[in-house]
Structure 1
Amino acid sequence: MAPSISIREHIRWLPDPASEPTTTLVLTSAENRFVDIRILKPTHSPSTESKREDVLPLSHLDWAFAGTSTSVPQRGEDGKAFAHSTWKHWVSSKTRDVDGVSDEGDMFPLPEGRVLEKGRMSNPATGVVTEYEELWFDPPFRVVEDGKGDGEGERGNCCVVLQLQDDEHEARGVVVRVGQYVQGVLRVGEGFSLERWEWKGKGKDEGWQRLVRMGDLWLPCGPAMDDGRLKEEGEVKYGEYLWKVVELSYF
């Protein structure tokens, strides 16, 4: 499976109208590892004073989780093809106990790189299991040209996955890079942190820019950007924790 970048355009709890209270981005690797981060927009989050716009308290988080996904091709009664997808959670902002936690939905392809997801899950506003629809858009990939002379532009788009599992310290984390985006989540006991980065391209805003950070735990987003220094099955060490390079590929 090819890596993917997915941006949610709206969510609809039937029969209510569609809305988008978050900035939601999902990065999925070639081996179906994903990081899904949903940040509340300012009008939907508590007002706080912050010295930096990219550093926010966890009160501005709707949901963040990571794990693995699977998709099974299906065909409806009308003969149209769709896929039934399952997202198995491995680390989550909502709970420490993710054993057996997953969510499912039917994915219907639409024109212009969009996909309509349909399913049933608990509406956080009501606590009632409700039918929902989510509209997703897959933006085009952008090759990152970092100017380091390592030939990244010649290699094409990059996919990196770093993973941490340290049961002694109750630590689990995943960092995924796909093309011009990097996202990571990390839980250590009751502590939780996340980051989202984007390559802004050449010009005034050239380089990697952090879009959001929450929490004070260190995430290896920087090493994921510097893929020329990584090797598959290699390691990135910081403090007590050892992150493993479980995927490194170009497409």
Structure 2
Amino acid sequence: MDPLASIRVSICWPPEPHSEPEDVLVISGRSGFYLDLRIDKAACSRSPSPTPRKNPSRADPRISWATAGRKELLPLEPGQEHPRARFTALLDSRRPSSSSSPSPDNEDDSAPDEGSFEPLSNGDVLERGFMLRPETGLVAPYEEVWRRLAVKPDARVVFLELVASPGGRSERAYVGRVGEWELGLVDGGEGGFGAVRRERRRDDGRWETTFEAGAGAELPSLADFDVPRDGTTEVELAGRTWRVIEAS
């Protein structure tokens, strides 16, 4: 697969009209591993820096949804012409391990999330499929319009999974970089479910944190960390041990 960094333009649950209540960034690697962070615009406008929740099973209210997982391309069925994919979440802010204790090896408890991708005349991509609608708790048809960000063919791609934390703290985390964009998600840290988003500034090339919540502020940046591309399986970073999912 080609590495991708995408922002969402709009979403709708037919027959409702398209709108965009969230600030969404998704990055995915050549391996198909992805990180997806969706930030509630209204919650951000109400409270730019809310006090961290004391209940570790709850995510920061600005995080409307955040997942880490794998994207699988599906074979086309008769009559279909647009690529199809299935998304399987291994980490999900809507079912945090601190409250429901899902096994990272058990993917059967996640709701189906499948869609097809149709290129539009302006270069955007229309995704149509089925996924869980949070307002109803039911699986429903959806449409999302995505805008691909410029990722160079030789862009640096790194995804890491937390293996061990200092003091044996029980937490799960993923950090990833695709070109000029980074995301990190953590579940079970001091601040409950947390996230961080970083981007390289176009004007001076410096990396800037554009969003952080909860224990996401503790997640390391991959901007200046060179993960070997020689098949290394584990690395030490910021006092933690990480499994290399992808380094390409």
For the superposition of Structure 1 and Structure 2, which TM-score range results when normalised by the shorter chain? 0.7 to 0.9
Corresponding residue of 2:156: 158
Alignment TM-score, normalising by the size of structure 2: 0.79
Alignment TM-score, normalising by the size of structure 1: 0.78
Alignment of 1:98-109 (within 5 A): 99=106, 100=108, 101=110, 102-109=112-119
Q: Which runs of 4+ in 1 moved over 6 A?
A: none
Encode CA deviations 1:225-247: one digit per residue, 9 max, x unaligned. 114x33142402434x3113332
What amino acid is the match of 1:93?
A: S
CA contact (8 A) 1:236 1:245 kept: no
CA contact (8 A) 1:11 1:20 kept: yes
Structure 1 stretches lacking a partner, 5+ long: 52-56, 144-155
- Partner SS state of residue 216, structure 1: helix
The alpha carbon displacement at 1:188 in A equals: 2.4
Structure 2 stretches lacking a partner, 5+ long: 51-58
Alignment of 1:138-217 (within 5 A): 138-141=148-151, 156-166=154-164, 169-188=169-188, 191-203=192-204, 206-217=205-216
Encode CA deviations 1:49-89: one digit per residue, 9 max, x unaligned. 639xxxxx811111001011101242663xx6212211111
The alpha carbon displacement at 1:109 in A equals: 2.5
CA contact (8 A) 1:37 1:63 kept: yes
CA contact (8 A) 1:7 1:24 kept: yes
- Partner SS state of residue 58, structure 1: coil
CA RMSD for the aligned pairs? 2.6
The alpha carbon displacement at 1:31 in A equals: 0.5
Q: 1:121 to 1:244 in 2, by over 3 A?
A: closer
Encode CA deviations 1:196-220: one digit per residue, 9 max, x unaligned. 01101234xx411111001135212
The alpha carbon displacement at 1:91 in A equals: 1.1
The alpha carbon displacement at 1:106 in A equals: 2.0
The alpha carbon displacement at 1:173 in A equals: 1.5
Query: 1:135 and 2:135 equivalent?
Result: no
Corresponding residue of 1:34: 34
Higher relative contact order, structure no. (Cα contacts within 8 Å, ≥ 6 residues apart): 2
Q: Distance in 1 between matches of 2:48 and 2:227?
A: 38
